[in-house]
Amino acid sequence: MTTRRAFLQIATAAATPVALGGIPGINPRTGHHIVLFEDSQPQAGAFALRAQSQGFATRAIRHGDITEAWLKSVRPAWERRPASIAGLTTPAALFCFEELAFARGLRVVFHAEHILLPDGSAQHQVQRAGHALSASALQRAGSRWPQRLADSLAASRLPRMARPGPSLASLEPALPAGATLLTSWIIA
């Protein structure tokens, strides 16, 4: 059985942190190329700040439109070699990156949903657990869940992750009135 991943040796190399030392834009500890975040959501901004402090290159996405990030950052990087990316974005942004990633043999290996309620609290659901982060760990972090998410991203080791099929990013869940949905993810 051929898997798309198997032949993409380059991608496998990209997924091994040790192999990445010295490649510009890629965090040498984790192998992630870049971290993307939804500019219009403060929680995503907090996540990005923390990710920057962990050594990640970050890039803003405005209102779910990934065009600039895709054309100026991710596509040129993937033309060199398929490298992992991560984000805290709208579901639409994840869906777009996921579609584009398929063609390069990359998959959504971690996918969590964060329901931002009108009272300022958040509920978390991990749809696809690609690393040790659980919904309850995020819940315990309270309002600092974005920072917790960034920390766990920095600690993740890609080779342990499974190589599954499509995520559920294209179809949204029903939400309580006035709630907003953010989604965190790793594509590798």
User: What are the residues binding another protein (CB under 8 A)?
Assistant: 1-4, 6-7, 62-67, 70-71, 90-93, 95-96, 99-100, 102-103, 107, 163-166, 168-175, 177-178, 180-181
**Nearest CB to another protein, comparing residues 28 and 68:** 68
CB of 8 vs another protein, minimal distance in Å: 9
CA distance 136 to 132: 11
**Nearest CB to another protein, comparing residues 50 and 110:** 110
Provide the Cα torsion 131, 132, 138, 141; round to 10°: -130
CB of 180 vs another protein, minimal distance in Å: 6
**Nearest CB to another protein, comparing residues 151 and 172:** 172
The residue whose two tokens read 């063609």 is 103
DSSP codes, 124-150: EEEEE--SS--HHHHHHTGGGHHHHHH
CB of 73 vs another protein, minimal distance in Å: 14
DSSP codes, 49-97: HHHHHTT--EEEEBTTB-HHHIIIIIHHHHHH---EEEEEE-HHHHHHH
**Nearest CB to another protein, comparing residues 4 and 81:** 4
CB of 150 vs another protein, minimal distance in Å: 23
Q: What count of other Cβ atoms lies within 10 Å of the Cβ of residue 81?
A: 16
**Nearest CB to another protein, comparing residues 22 and 178:** 178
CB of 154 vs another protein, minimal distance in Å: 27
